[in-house]
Amino acid sequence: MKSGRWLLVLLFLFLLNENQLFAQRKSGIIDDHDKANLTMASKKNPFYTIIYEAVTTGRKGSLIKAYRDTAFKKVISPEEIIKIGSGEETFQIYPDPTNPDVFYDTTVFVPFNPEKISRYLVIYDINTKPEEPPIKIVAIAPLIDNWVANVKLNEQIIFWVKFEDLAEVAGKEIFNSPENPGGQLTFKDFFEKNLFFMRDYDPTIIIYR
């Protein structure tokens, strides 16, 4: 009986120690305008296209789940995501070119262009294991600007993805950079090896969905 109790105590201490390794969960901003992150906006294989297609149409045979918040319980569908940031445009149709007084209005759907994504809100853990990179990405959310009368008010989260899910796609996507001349590294490596630059997160400028 005593040996069984000691095993339980040791198991508890082990789990407690493991939890403490990632006890410092934080948030940050990755901006693809920063020099270290320019590869994310490379026209050859931009990250904004990868993450957007991964949750809307599928990428490299994989369609991953997107979530509304960091509880990761409420899934947001591809159809709902596509509507975010999209809009409508109305223009006039003249059926008779000889009679400019006769026309009718028509409205078309204008889909969201993922090229508008340049910043990402990330949740990460501080890793205290000396043999591993200091930052472990947990989840990523692309951001979209909110504008009113040509004035940027704030940013809005489009969706959240777990990095463990995104890694399935990111591990198949080579990033283009002088630091990756042989094309050996993927976007999964880019995040796991902490090759990015991250800024502090300012909660006053971002709207949670």
Q: Please name the helix (run of DSSP H) or strand (run of DSSP E) that holds residue 12, with its range, or none.
A: helix 2-21
**Residue holding tokens 């445009």?**
89
86 backbone dihedrals φ, ψ, rounded to 5°: -85, 175
Q: Compute the average pLDDT of residues 31-42.
A: 95
What is the 3 state secondary structure string of 13-47? HHHHHHHHHCCCEEEEEEECCCHHHHHHHCCCCCH
101 backbone dihedrals φ, ψ, rounded to 5°: -85, -10
Greater pLDDT, 31 or 91: 31
Q: What is the pLDDT of residue 107?
A: 79
Question: How many CA atoms does the CB half-sphere of 157 hold within 13 Å?
Answer: 21
User: Whole-prediction pTM value?
Assistant: 0.79
139 backbone dihedrals φ, ψ, rounded to 5°: -155, 155
Strands (E) across the chain are located at 25-31, 66-67, 75-76, 87-93, 104-110, 119-126, 135-148, 151-157, 161-162, 199-200, 206-207
Q: Compute the average pLDDT of residues 7-30.
A: 59
Distances (CA, A) of 15 to 1, 132, 148: 21, 19, 49
134-191, pLDDT tens digit by residue? Answer: 999 999 999 998 766 677 778 899 999 999 999 999 999 999 887 787 778 999 999 9
37-61, pLDDT tens digit by residue? Answer: 999 999 999 999 999 999 999 998 8
Could you tell me how many residues make up the chain? 209
* Separation between Cα atoms, residue 174 and residue 189, nearest integer Å: 9
Q: Compute the average pLDDT of residues 14-29.
A: 63
